[in-house]
Structure 1
Amino acid sequence: MRERLRAIDTEIQVSMAGAGAMGRGLLHQCLVTPAFRCVALADIDLGAAIDCAESAEVSYEVVSDLKSLNDCIQKGKLAVCQDASLAAQADAADVFIDASNAIEEAARFCPLALEHGKHLVMMNAEADLAFGPYLMQQAAEQGVTYASCDGDQHGVIKRLVDNLRLWGFDLVMAGNIKGYLDRYANPTSIIPEADKRNLDYHMCTAYTDGTKLGVEMALLANALDLETPVPGMHGPEADHVQEVHDLFDLDTLWKEHGPVVDYILGAEPNGGVFAVGYCEDPYQQRMMNYYKMGDGPFYIFYRPYHLCHVEAIDAIATAVLDDRSLLQPEHGHVADVYAYAKKDLEPGDRLDGIGGYACYGLIENRADQEEHPGIPMTLADDVRVTTKIEKDEKIPASEVELDEDRADLRLYKKSLASCQASAVQTFS
């Protein structure tokens, strides 16, 4: 890809929402990758966007309207703004990257980017999960590409899966490796760890309480038509990924559920991912044994790292140059992440969303939601519960007050409607 980018005559011009850890990294990556140029950067915290531009030592101007933004870009400067809707409409941009952690705001600016003919690449996994099927449909109608980004675990796992399928193996499990889990972490308890890693407190909480893990694996499930065998997945503790053979009854799991998503906890390689493939071909089994992959028929393929923004650029370039997506929700809302109480909740208590004090999220199959649907974590922000809910109980969608005019709820309903008519019943 690098030589291909060096050979093209025009720049790939990027506009972006989000100047946090991922946005900062992507801006840097645009500076070091041939043919890339970031033309607009937006963040609700304007100071963070300015700091991001200054840290990257790029020439920039702060703008507050679309004309000023386009004029700034024409002068060869980075347009910095507070309103991501402006960046989504930048005339020069070929691709819009959502690297924010916004959900309700993303429901406004992501469709706007598609309306203005931009390829849309998501490094905002939460908005990707909530609205992906609708945004994918809109992208197809606009003749552009919608894609999840590479670098985060779901993108890296997808590449592993693509490889093992290319080699003739059947997918049995798409697996994540999580270092540490505390369902009850909150933005106060997480401060020492977040400060050590220079992370936003809510974001670090979402990593620690398992919500982010569930979101990433739900994205994989929706792209590859995978089930979660139990709510929240199994997640056994392990010392090394090779223990997957002993920790899971892979044969029974596969026969009962087909291919699944799951994870292991605390295992080496820390920061890695894995996938389990099945092959019963005698020749391949002999050769896999020779290659020190075991006797089979279940084989573990793993990668010891995921590199976030460093790896993201390939998926972005592929979306723009080839109109091809690394990962998108081709099977609709097969799975979602639903809110569970972090503490006892009383009527009138407010849910404060992903990475907050009130709830954590567990991945579940949508097919299991018809009788007693839960509220998706992506919608569980600034809503009040109407009944007593005990700690670790699932929060029913019927027991929360949700404003029907919210942009995120409206787009979520459109996303459900773009998949299966029966799924719309959850919030109708």
Structure 2
Amino acid sequence: MNLHKLLSDREQQGRPIRVGLIGAGRYGTMYLAQANNIPGIHVVAIADINVKRAQGAFDLVGWPKNQVAPDIATALENRSTTIVANADELFNVDIDVIVEATGNPIVGVKHALRAIEARKHIIMVTVEADALAGPALARRAEEAGVVYSMAYGDQPALIMELVDWARTSGFDVVCAGKGAKYLEHYHEMNPDNVWENWEFSKELTDSGQLNPNMHTSFRDGTKASIEMAAVANGAGLVPSDNGLTFTPGDVEEIATICRPASVGGALAHEGTVDVMSSVKRDGTWIPHNTQEGVFVVVKATNDYVSGCFTEYPWHPDPTGQYAALYRPYHYVGLELNMSIANAVLRGISTGSPLGFFGDVVATAKKELKAGEFLDGEGGYTVWGKLVSAKHSVAIGALPVALAHHVELRNDIPKGATVRWEDVIIDDSLAQALELRRETEALVAESVLTA
């Protein structure tokens, strides 16, 4: 509440929030489409190694040509925006907040560290980096006195908002989650057959506008696991070691499905995360499904509250003990400024890791042989499975974010977890490995916190 008033005050004072955006992909472009209509905001620079793509983003959103500057110095002086090919140019100039939207977990960790070292707030759109080393990055940001935040508009931050609502209202969180389309064979999906599992026209898939690796990750379970790991770490919730259930159901069934198996639900325990499928196992779409939405399930604290659940149209479970709050949509980059404003004006995040509770581990899509190279999220070799961080560290599991271009030492059966001992790690990953080790070291205290 009142963020717009605070932004308007900054506008009147001539002190706009100075934003540096790294990555001119879909998310960054969506934010640019809104930025000129928000008081108190000055997008100083967009960094993208593909300068042509960044220029194309300007064209897509109708960015005024008289607001395009030749360099950062001019952009700061004239309240205009420039494009740079190297993100390093953003860290040593007068910028308040960095938005990391590259989608690359290794690069994302690097940029977050640079921002923290430069005492700039960091909004981590690249949730893959957050799942890999977010707990350590958040710890470093806190020590540096800056905000490390999930990006509002993406589902994890919106789920965190619902979790905060629940706990602030006095409820215990039983489950936090989202909806997504899921069928059992999706874990075997790869870029060659990905379009068989989407509803796009052949004209669109043949056009080259869509990234087959990205859309494989969206459907093979990896992206859902990464997003729910971010929620688990941000909310102190513990995933099941068996992964997400992807149980089919509609909006009215959220509280019935996302409750413990001991009372008829699908969960291994309370205080966890899960994803519901928007289609039945035969592929039939479920009317009023949870696709694109987010939810939190809470438990009645006493009989009076249980009575309230059944008296109001809150879609409780059959026992009247569990109820859900549901938001049916997310506006992605169009909502990003909520994170930027909260970080700079209030010094708070829209979701940030409390500890290390959930991890996304590389899981073989097929029989893998020693000498093969893993190709990471959305590829042919592995998908990302969500497990508890305690379990991941105990078995020495390899995070899926580090399963890129690494060689196998050992054969891996289909469906098995790839472990650190199974791969040869490239020295070029030293920085990401350092942050990952810091994250894994937090598992003991995170388990105690949970």
TM-score normalised to structure 2 length: 0.85
Asked if structure 2 preserves the Cα contact closer than 8 Å seen for 1:133 and 1:419, the reply is: no
Which deviations, in whole Å up to 9, do the C-alpha atoms of 1:171-223 show, x marking residues without a partner? 10112111235222223333585746954332211111111100111111111
Give the superposition deviation at 1:46: 2.2
Sort the Cα spacing of 1:251 and 1:387 in 2 relative to 1 into closer, same or farther, 3 A: closer
1:76/1:248 CA distance change after superposition, 3 Å:
closer
SS of equivalent residue, structure 1 residue 104: helix
SS of the residue 1:369 aligns to: helix
Give the corresponding residue for 1:368: 391
Question: Once the 2 structures are TM-superposed, how far is the Cα of residue 152 of structure 1 from its aligned partner?
Answer: 1.3
Tell me if 1:113 matches 2:115. yes
Alignment-derived partner of residue 244 in structure 1: 254
Report the counterpart of residue 327 of structure 1 in structure 2. Answer: 351
Q: Is it true that 1:351 corresponds to 2:362 in the alignment?
A: no
Cross-structure match for 2:296: 275
Distance 1:12 1:234 in 2: 42
Does the residue aligned with 1:159 lie in a helix, a strand or coil? helix
Question: How is 1:24-423 mapped onto 2 (pairs within 5 angstroms)?
Answer: 24-56=29-61, 57-59=63-65, 68-87=71-90, 89-181=91-183, 182-190=186-194, 193=198, 195=204, 198-238=209-249, 240-247=250-257, 250=260, 252=262, 257-266=269-278, 268-293=289-314, 294=316, 296-331=320-355, 333-406=356-429, 407-417=431-441, 420=444
CA separation of 1:108 and 1:244: change in aligned 2, threshold 3 A: closer
Q: Distance in 2 between matches of 1:282 and 1:249?
A: 18
State the 1:419 CA deviation. 5.8
Tell me the residue number matched to 2:282: none
* Segment drifting more, 168-177 vs 104-113: 104-113
**Contact 2:260–2:268, Cα closer than 8 Å, also in 1:** no
Distance 1:251 1:205 in 2: 30
Q: 2:25·2:102 contact (CA, 8 Å) conserved in 1?
A: yes
Distance in 2 (CA, whole Å) between partners of 1:202 and 1:73 is: 37
Aligned 8 A contact 1:232 1:362 in 2? yes
- Contact kept? 2:129, 2:401, Cα under 8 Å: yes
Structure 1 position 420, deviation (Å): 4.8
Percent of paired sites with the same residue: 29
Separation of aligned partners in 2, 1:390 and 1:212: 22
Q: Deviations over 1:313-335 (max 9, x none)?
A: 1122001101001211112x211
2:294 and 2:398 map into 1 onto residues whose CA distance is 29
Hey, what's the Cα distance between the residues in 2 that align with 1:42 and 1:370?
Answer: 35
Deviations 1:18-71 (A, max 9, x none): 1111011112222222211211111232221121123332447687xxxx5334
String of CA shifts for 1:85-126, please: whole Å, max 9, x gaps: 222x15231100011101222232221111112111111101
Gaps of at least 5 residues in structure 2 are 279-285
Structure 1: tracts of 5 or more residues without a match: 424-428
Q: Secondary structure of 2:247's partner?
A: coil
TM normalised by structure 1 equals 0.89
Matched letter for residue 46 of structure 2: L
Asked if the contact 1:177/1:270 (under 8 Å) is kept, the reply is yes
Structure-2 separation of matches of 1:420 and 1:368:
11
Query: How many residues of Structure 1 are paired with residues of Structure 2 in the alignment?
Result: 416
Helix, strand or coil for the counterpart of 2:276?
strand
Partner of residue 281, structure 2: none
Q: Does the Cα contact within 8 Å between 2:365 and 2:414 map onto a contact in 1?
A: yes
State how far apart, in whole Å, the 2-side matches of 1:420 and 1:93 are.
36
Deviation at 1:246, TM superposition (A): 4.3
What is residue 17 of structure 1 aligned with on the other side?
Answer: 22
